[in-house]
Amino acid sequence: MGRVLDQIPDDLARWFEAQPVFFVATAPADPDTHVNVSPRGLDSFRVLDPLRVAWLDLTGSGVETIAHLRADGRITLMFCAFTGPPQIVRLHGRGTVHELDTPGWHELSGRFPDLPGARAVIDVAVHRVATSCGYAVPRMDLVGPRDTLLRSAERKGPATLVRYREERNAVSIDGLPGYQGAHA
């Protein structure tokens, strides 16, 4: 059942954007650093073209994905079908971080909703699209999205978000450079 595709077909692009959660895996080349896997949700993912995807990165408690992309660039995104026919799709590529108020941010941020706490757009040049069966992925009912991260960003406000990023998003758990901007 697994296939490797040359690019993202339109039906798969629509399926990606309909998924309520996807997972991002990154790791710097240094074997003494941590591998990171992060779930992503909300209305934050877009297929830009058959070999390019992006998502809106929100201010959170860590900065591993951004730090790893700055260090190495390698990234894998994984989508799983929790409803409907079983399916897993992985997108392998190289990611670029476009922080607030950079040219890449201005180019891409308009494709996403204006979510509180947005700090970057992660832009991925896809070089491998691979499907697999997903037969062991459980079926689950979606209760709904969590808005806790959004409410937290709203509660903090722009000035506090700048300080938060300076204090908690500047370096990864391995000491790698993370978020570099201080914009709200």
Tell me the domain boundaries of the chain. 3-168
Task: Return the pLDDT at 183.
Answer: 57
Kindly report the number of other CB atoms within 10 A of residue 66's CB atom: 24
Q: Which of the four CATH numbers 2.30.110.10, 3.30.2130.10, 3.40.50.1820, 2.60.40.1840 does domain 3-168 have? A: 2.30.110.10
Continuous segment of H or E residues that includes residue 164: helix 148-168
Contact criterion met (CB below 8 Å) for 99 and 180: yes
pTM of the shown model: 0.95
CA-to-CA distance for 26 and 95, rounded, in angstroms? Answer: 10
* pLDDT of amino acid 181: 86
- Residues of the chain with pLDDT below 50 are none
